[in-house]
């Protein structure tokens, strides 16, 4: 069974080009895909942590506003101050809902749920008791723990950002090592294949050159045997 021989040396060169360049192209496409995937993953992670940090900052600001409104109501007893309090409380609720929808740690979710429970107790006390009641004063004191938990949320989110950055750096180094290994495997392989195909291309040309020189010297003792692309044969 005879091996495949292309009809022309041009086709042989095309086959050589495809076989040598194709693995390198596949490696390049794979490298591009891995880098794009890493960048997209990093963007999603950092975007989520930044949103969590912004949400925690808004949470702290709404707690501060609610505490100020509650203290003013305690001193003045003006019902309109409760309306302002309710507006700021709605901001608090909206912010906690957004934070709950994010991919937070288990500790952050537990802390967030505890803050929601404490704020509900404070709001119920402000609605049920008059401004000068002891229950109202005791409830307002709960804003201190809410503010502390909100600051802890901020610290946790900043640590989460640092952790995500470290994770992305590790993944980037891992992808870099993988690409280096691929390059170390593919480039020598491509060079070896190029060398082999160079020999396959030049061997029939050398044989033809020898045959022509021999015939030119008047030596007809051996037939010219050219094995290669059919146009050369």
- Cβ–Cβ under 8 Å, residues 95 and 58: yes
Q: What is the pLDDT along the chain (233 residues), one digit of tens a residue?
A: 455 566 677 777 777 777 777 777 777 787 788 778 877 777 777 777 778 888 888 888 999 999 999 999 888 888 888 889 999 999 999 999 988 888 777 888 888 899 999 999 999 998 888 888 888 889 889 888 889 988 888 888 777 777 777 777 777 777 777 777 777 777 777 777 777 777 777 777 787 778 788 777 777 777 777 776 677 76
Q: C-alpha 5: how far from its chain's center? A: 48
Q: Are 78 and 190 in contact (CB under 8 A)?
A: no
pLDDT of 106-158, one tens digit each?
888 888 899 999 999 999 998 888 888 888 889 889 888 889 988 888 888 77
Distances in Å between the alpha carbon of 199 and those of 22, 27, 232? 20, 26, 15
Distance from C-alpha of 37 to C-alpha of 64, rounded to nearest angstrom = 41
DSSP label at 2?
P
Q: Taking the mean position of all CA atoms in its chain, how far away is CA 74?
A: 50
Contact 59, 150 (CB under 8 A): yes
* DSSP notation for 165-178: HHHHHHHHHHHHHH
Rounded to the nearest angstrom, the gap between the alpha carbon of residue 216 and the centroid of all alpha carbons in its chain is 69
In order of 12, 125, 130, the CA distances from 82 in angstroms are 86, 12, 11
DSSP for 128-195? Answer: HS-TTSHHHHHHHTHHHHHHHHHHHHHHHHHHHHHHHHHHHHHHHHHHHHHHHHHHHHHHHHHHHHHH
């Amino acid at each position: 069974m005879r091996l495949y021989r292309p009809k022309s040396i041009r086709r042989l060169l095309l086959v050589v080009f495809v076989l040598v360049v194709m693995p390198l192209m596949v490696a390049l496409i794979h490298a591009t895909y891995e880098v794009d995937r890493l960048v997209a993953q990093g963007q999603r992670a950092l975007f989520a942590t930044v949103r969590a940090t912004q949400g925690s900052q808004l949470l702290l600001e709404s707690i501060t506003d609610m505490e100020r409104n509650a203290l003013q109501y305690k001193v003045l007893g003006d019902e309109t101050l409760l309306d302002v309090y309710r507006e700021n409380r709605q901001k608090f609720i909206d912010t906690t809902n957004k934070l709950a929808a994010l991919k937070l740690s288990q500790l952050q979710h537990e802390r967030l749920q505890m803050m929601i429970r404490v704020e509900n107790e404070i709001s119920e006390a402000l609605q049920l008791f008059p401004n000068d009641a002891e229950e109202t004063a005791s409830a307002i004191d709960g804003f201190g723990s809410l503010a502390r938990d909100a600051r802890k949320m901020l610290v946790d989110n900043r640590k989460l950002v640092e952790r995500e950055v470290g994770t992305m750096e590790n993944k980037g180094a891992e992808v870099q090592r993988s690409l280096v290994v691929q390059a170390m495997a593919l480039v020598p392989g491509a060079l070896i294949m190029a060398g082999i195909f160079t020999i396959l291309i030049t061997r029939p040309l050398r044989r033809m050159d020898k045959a022509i020189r021999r015939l030119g010297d008047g030596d007809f003792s051996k037939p010219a045997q050219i094995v290669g692309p059919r146009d050369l044969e």
